[in-house]
Amino acid sequence: MRMLGLDFGSRTVGVAISDPLLLTAQGVEIIRRESENKLRRTFARIEEIIADYGDVESIVLGYPKNMNSTIGERARKTEEFKAALERRCSLPVILWDERLTTVAADSVMTESGIRGSDRKKYVDEIAAMFILQGYLDYLRNKQDRD
């Protein structure tokens, strides 16, 4: 069993996948689109990735709450994307708080010596890894407590 992690943005979707044991998240790619509302190819690519791995059972989608935990416009668009994704892929989609994942991804790349212009190429994929890894860690901690 695997989980797919997604960082949904206005023009990109960062994609990560878990290992079969649900221990670690690895980056897959960044799906880019020309405009915010053109999602058909994005959905098609996500479906291809799910088919390529074959054993994806759920999707963890970053949920961009505001820092004060309120729901803004970006979160509402993410909720719409979630509903469409569930219809298209017939998989459960879990919303996972993604506050500061892009900041963390950018920080990791800075510490690794990746220059500013190059960081933009990878930040969404790395953010998807942080989102998915956060959820995997949550599941493991929850299992340890039960």
* Count of domains forming the chain: 1
Judge whether residue 116 has pLDDT over 70. no
Q: Are 26 and 139 in contact (CB under 8 A)?
A: no
Measured in degrees and rounded to the nearest 5, phi and psi for residue 31 equal -90, 125
Task: Note the residue count of the chain.
Answer: 146
Judge whether residue 4 has pLDDT over 90. yes
C-alpha–C-alpha distance, residues 9 and 64, integer Å:
10
Most confident of the following: 29-38, 88-97, 107-116, 132-141: 88-97
SS3 124: helix
Supply angle C-alpha 121, 124, 126, rounded to 5.
95
Judge whether residue 78 has pLDDT over 80. yes
* Average pLDDT value for the chain: 86
Range of the domain at 11: 2-145
Find the mean pLDDT for residues 24-49.
91
CATH of the domain at 139: 3.30.420.140
C-alpha–C-alpha distance, residues 53 and 75, integer Å:
28
C-alpha–C-alpha distance, residues 103 and 83, integer Å:
26
pLDDT at 104: 61
Confidence of residue 34 (pLDDT cuts 50, 70, 90): confident
Find the mean pLDDT for residues 100-108.
63
Q: For residue 122, what are its two tokens?
A: 């990878």
Judge whether residue 136 has pLDDT over 80. yes
C-alpha–C-alpha distance, residues 85 and 81, integer Å:
6
pLDDT at 53: 93
C-alpha–C-alpha distance, residues 85 and 56, integer Å:
14
Percentage above 70 pLDDT, the chain: 82
